[in-house]
Amino acid sequence: MSVVAHTYTKLGTSMSKKLVNLETDALKVALLSSYTVTTSQDTAQFYSDVVTAGVGVETSGTGYTAGGLALTSISGSVSGHVYTLTCANPVWTTSTIAAAYALFYDSTPGSAGTNPVICYWDFGGTVSSTGASFTLTISGSGLLTLTGS
């Protein structure tokens, strides 16, 4: 699947207030069946700002658990002026689900109103699986890159 990745503007705010640690906190990815992005890319800071606020509707289906899937093999590295966060490809096995977006967030704080959002992927349309694996392929460039200058 071809995706367009977007970072939330308030990720910087969450990082400056030490609300998120990209390498040591429990990061998750939730699937959304719909998402009316409008200004939420700039205004959303927490999971509740997307899902509870009603601008994003979380997917449901066989093999999918509310709140999404924990990311594994999370690591960060620095090369030159670029920080790269990477992880293993998230996979929902033997699933029957449909999604148009993926929402990556930090679940360590523990509630929808305190879990910072990191980024989201727009699949460009609905992608589905029927009794099969639903896989998100993390780019060779990582899940997230931050560039200093």
Of the pLDDT bands very low, low, confident and very high (cuts 50, 70, 90), residue 2 is confident
Residue 35 has pLDDT above 70, yes or no: yes
Supply φ then ψ for residue 128, to 5 degrees.
-140, 165
- Between CA 125 and CA 137 the distance in angstroms is 16
Task: State the Cα–Cα distance between residues 38 and 72, nearest whole angstrom.
Answer: 30
Mean pLDDT estimate for the chain:
95
pLDDT of residue 12: 93
Average pLDDT over residues 55-59: 95
Instruction: Supply the pLDDT for residue 1.
Output: 65
For residue 46, the SS3 value is strand
Report pLDDT digits (tens) over 130-148. 999 999 999 989 999 999 9
Distance (Å, rounded) from C-alpha 108 to C-alpha 116? 9
Q: Tell me the pTM.
A: 0.96
Q: Please report, for the chain, the start and end positions of each structural domain, with discontinuous segments joined by +.
A: 4-140
